[in-house]
Amino acid sequence: MRWNLSIKTTSLCVLILIIGILAYAAVGPFITVYQIKMGIENHDGDKLNANIDFPALRENLKEQLNAIVMKKAGTDQQNNPIGELVFGLASKASEGIVDSIATPEGLSAVIEGRKHKKNDARDASEVKTKSFREFLQQFDYEFESTSKFTMWIKDKKKAAKFVLERQGLNWKLNNLIMPG
């Protein structure tokens, strides 16, 4: 009888552990978003670096901007030397744009649905006026898979889409799909 109770206790502990891991994985994106919000508010680079995959974010943003430039240039411009030069210059300019977006102030501007200007007097501390619950209520979100979570600002026709991907049990922001 005692051995039977041990098996039941062990099974219950394993079940609780599994439920705990699943619950943590389900709320993980929200924890990451909260950590990013707090990092922006407090200008805490370490917190942001822990929750944002900046190299992947910059690379994804550069690819998006280059695709937009290529689309606008058209195939005629892409195949001639002057078009290639213009594309090269536009690609360099996109790096500057990406570097200004992939900052606490730039992310704050995107989250608030406003355009970021380099010398903008507003800063990330303006996000502080909202509680986290109020902050989350301005977004729609979904799990696209067990390892991909997206969120976007509600009621905005051309809202940016934030993409978080799971890395082990942790989640990181690694893409920001710009409207367009």
Tell me which of 174 and 94 has the higher pLDDT.
174
Residues in the chain: 180
Work out the mean pLDDT of the chain and round it to a whole number: 78
Strands 148-153 and 139-145, bridge-based pairing? antiparallel
Whether the pLDDT of residue 177 is over 80: the answer is yes
pLDDT digits (tens, 9 = 90+) for 88-108: 676 677 677 777 777 767 776
Rounded to whole angstroms, the Cα distance separating 54 from 27 reads 22
Strands 161-167 and 148-153, bridge-based pairing? antiparallel
pLDDT of residue 1: 44
Range list of H helices, the chain:
2-41, 45-51, 54-78, 81-101, 104-112, 132-137
The residue with tokens 């709320």 is 27
Closest CA to 144 of 154, 152, 136: 152
CA torsion 17-28-157-108 (nearest 10°) is: 170
- pLDDT > 70 fraction of the chain, expressed in percent and rounded: 69
Please give the residue range of the domain that contains residue 6. Answer: 2-177
Rounded to whole angstroms, the Cα distance separating 70 from 62 reads 12
- Domains identified in the chain, total number: 1
Angle at Cα 127 formed by Cα 44 and Cα 139, nearest 5°?
Answer: 110
- What is the mean pLDDT of the segment spanning 1-5? 53
